[in-house]
């Protein structure tokens, strides 16, 4: 075990991020975020080595985070969940230093996380979902694409980033295919007959040779709007805009995003009797606690069962 007391914050952070990438197999996006959170702490606290991190500095940092403006223009301060992301990064750095035997670092458990209210799931009703899905005009290429996108999201529970990176030649003939999700983990997702039909109709109507399943449709002048490396692959941001527009058209007052459709997928399965572990596997959640946000659905389901079958004799 190394007792290297000359470790600077820069060195400690570099080693920690390399450890996350190599030993823990975390994605580059996660590592980028952790690096940003730790750098934020360093610039706030002015620490030059890990042994400079004290409980008092952490307390001041927590106060400072709590007073930072949030992302919205509403004048709210930074969300507790976002504050926790900053603190988790710092806590994991300290845990790593404790593990490699760096004696100057305080114990990681000295960092307590902010209490956050239970996450509320944004949901739309079955009727609203029906109106949303039937919004596109499937006589046009754009309408077919949009219908195929929404049917795929609802049928598979894919994340929007997973959907937009699907290749054109995905084999859906047996009603399922493999997808590479967060942390490079591969899982199997299942496709409904409707989703399959709309994807096939959309691909048949396309005249281009692009490898991506979902591409941007040329604008009225016939020019395609340029994106990264001149690819015509649709972006997650575009999918968000598409769904938002159809939600407005369908008269849905709630904010509808690709993630809301993913929530609909999960709650639909649970309310029809699927168990939490199966839904966890289908959503690609690494941890069951992430899936437990849906327990309100299973609770209602259990309540109905209890009401129907637990009759007094």
Q: Would you call 34 a catalytic residue per the annotation? A: no
Q: What is the pLDDT at residue 5?
A: 56
Q: Which of 49, 182, 187, 196 is catalytic?
A: 182
Q: Which residues have a Cβ under 8 Å from the Cβ of 130 and sit 6 or more positions away?
A: none
Q: Would you call 296 a catalytic residue per the annotation? A: no
Q: Would you call 285 a catalytic residue per the annotation? A: yes
Q: Which of 15, 26, 145, 262 is catalytic?
A: 262
Q: What is the pLDDT of residues 10-67, one digit of tens each?
A: 999 999 999 988 888 787 888 999 999 999 999 999 988 888 888 889 889 999 988 8
- DSSP assignment of 21-41 equals HHTS---HHHHHHHHHHHHHH
**What is the rounded CA–CA span in Å between residue 57 and residue 79?**
21
Q: What is the pLDDT at residue 272?
A: 80
Q: Please state, in angstroms and as integers, the Cα–Cα distance from residue 42 to each residue in 38, 90, 98, 178, following that order.
A: 6, 10, 19, 41
CATH of 9-110, one of 1.10.10.10, 1.10.150.130, 1.10.357.10, 1.20.1050.10: 1.10.150.130
Mean predicted lDDT score pLDDT of the chain: 83
Q: Give span(s): CATH 1.10.150.130, the chain.
A: 9-110
Q: Would you call 91 a catalytic residue per the annotation? A: no
CATH of 126-307, one of 1.10.510.10, 3.40.50.1100, 1.10.443.10, 3.30.70.1380: 1.10.443.10
pLDDT confidence band for 179 (50 / 70 / 90): confident
**What is the rounded CA–CA span in Å between residue 79 and residue 65?**
9
Give the three-class secondary structure for 287: coil
Q: What is the pLDDT of residues 197-221, one digit of tens each?
A: 999 999 999 988 888 999 988 654 4
- In which residue are the tokens 């069951």 written? 288
Q: Would you call 300 a catalytic residue per the annotation? A: no
Q: Would you call 86 a catalytic residue per the annotation? A: no
């Amino acid at each position: 075990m190394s007792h290297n007391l000359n470790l600077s914050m820069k060195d400690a952070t570099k080693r920690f991020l390399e450890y996350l990438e190599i030993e823990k197999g975390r994605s580059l996006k996660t590592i980028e975020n952790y690096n940003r959170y730790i750098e934020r702490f360093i610039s706030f606290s002015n620490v030059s080595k890990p042994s400079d991190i004290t409980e008092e500095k952490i307390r001041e940092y927590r106060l400072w985070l709590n007073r930072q403006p949030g992302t919205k223009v509403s004048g709210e301060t930074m969300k507790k969940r976002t504050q926790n992301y900053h603190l988790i990064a710092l806590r994991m750095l300290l845990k790593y230093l404790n593990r490699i035997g760096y004696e100057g670092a305080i114990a990681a458990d000295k960092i307590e996380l902010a209490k956050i209210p239970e996450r509320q799931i944004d949901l739309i009703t079955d009727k609203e979902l029906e109106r949303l899905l039937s919004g596109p005009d499937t006589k046009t290429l754009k309408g077919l694409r949009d219908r195929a996108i929404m049917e795929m999201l609802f049928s598979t529970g894919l994340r929007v980033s997973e959907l937009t990176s699907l290749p054109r030649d995905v084999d859906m003939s047996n009603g399922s295919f493999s997808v590479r999700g967060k942390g490079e983990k591969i899982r199997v997702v299942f496709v409904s007959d409707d989703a399959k039909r709309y994807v096939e109709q959309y691909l048949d109507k396309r005249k281009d040779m692009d490898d991506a399943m979902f591409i941007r449709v040329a604008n009225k002048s016939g020019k395609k709007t340029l994106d990264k490396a001149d690819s015509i692959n649709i972006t997650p941001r575009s999918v968000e805009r598409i769904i938002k527009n159809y939600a407005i058209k369908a008269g849905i007052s709630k904010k509808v995003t690709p993630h809301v459709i993913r929530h609909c997928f999960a709650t639909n399965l649970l309310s029809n009797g699927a168990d939490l572990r199966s839904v966890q596997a289908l959503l690609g959640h690494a941890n069951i606690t992430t899936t437990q946000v849906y327990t309100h659905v299973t609770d209602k389901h259990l309540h109905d069962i209890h009401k129907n079958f637990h009759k007094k004799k």
